[in-house]
Amino acid sequence: MKDYLENINKAFESKARLGIMSVLMVEDRVDFSTLKDTLQLTDGNLASHLRALEEAEYLRVEKQFVGRKPNTTYHATDAGRKAFNNHLDALEQLILNNRKDN
């Protein structure tokens, strides 16, 4: 396999997951509706991508109460930040290789 493809991480392939991780890299804690509005995803679609990233241990879910209302927030784990940065590095290599050859 081409070197620059090796480090592309399947966990971050989709636009939705690129978006989720991009938001979580900047904001320490983000709630579901903020993510939904920012990324314009349906509830089901967003929930399924969040679950996949949680299963990969790239993000953590925190449930707490704000007053009497339950509030669920998402934040990137250290492993998630590291893996996403590696993925961005791999995409950068892919771009450089394509630009170089054309």
Least Å from the CB of residue 55 to its own copies: 19
Burial tier of 52 (Cβ tally within 10 Å: 0-12, 13-18, 19+) = middle
CB nearer its own copies, residue 5 or residue 61: 5
Nearer to its own copies, 71 or 85 (CB): 85
| Nearest-approach distance from CB 73 to its own copies, in angstroms | 19
Shortest spacing between CB 2 and its own copies, in angstroms: 7
